[in-house]
Amino acid sequence: MESTLIKLTVQGVMPDAIPNSESQVVILQDESKTNTLPIWVGVAEGTAIRLALEGVIPPRPLSHDLIRNLTEQLGLTISKVVVTDVKNNTYYASIYLRSKQSDKESELTVDSRPSDAIALALRTSSPIYVTQEVLDRLAPENVDPWLKMLGSKEFGGTV
């Protein structure tokens, strides 16, 4: 069954609300700002996402820059990334790659953590989607605190 996909954009990366937590939270929203998806990521992945958001070009390619360079060199294009599932608080994502092998186009799918998928999508200007099922399973109490923070001064008040 094909599930409905909702396009999201990354609003920002914030430190976790829990003190001394090593995690960071990536906030994604749909165009109408009615759906918000917070995804917890590690420090390294959070940094990788933040650098791409800020358009920072590091002197040497970082790990996700390297993945982008590898795919570009091999003529693979990232058509989209999709947050597909959530199980036991772990989010799952898929990266869709299009390959042009001797005039024959094929689509490849690779399983990934959402953090890597997002870091890569931002570097390749690829769209980010989430399935309706994942949004339906979000508990409001997990989303509301981040909605408040998105509107706060600290975050630049982008909402």
CB of residue 66 to other proteins, shortest distance in Å = 5
Distance of CA 92 to the CA centre of its chain: 11
Interface of this chain with other proteins, residues 39 to 78, rule: CB under 8 A: 42-45, 59-64, 66-67, 69-71, 73-74, 76
Binding test (CB under 8 A) with other proteins, winner from 94, 113, 143, 147: 113
Phi and psi angles of residue 67, each rounded to the nearest 5 degrees, phi first? -60, -45
| Residue 34 backbone zone (phi > 0: left; psi -120 to 50: alpha; other: beta) | alpha
Closest CA to 15 of 43, 35, 49: 43
Binding test (CB under 8 A) with other proteins, winner from 29, 35, 112, 131: 112
DSSP-derived secondary structure for 112-138: E-HHHHHHHHHHHT--EEEEHHHHHT-
Assess 97 for contact with other proteins (CB under 8 A).
Answer: yes
* Among 27-35, 99-107, 123-131, 141-149, the segment contacting other proteins (CB under 8 A): 99-107
**Residues that bind other proteins in the complex, under the rule CB under 8 A:** 42-45, 59-64, 66-67, 69-71, 73-74, 76, 90, 92, 95, 97, 99, 101-102, 108-113, 116
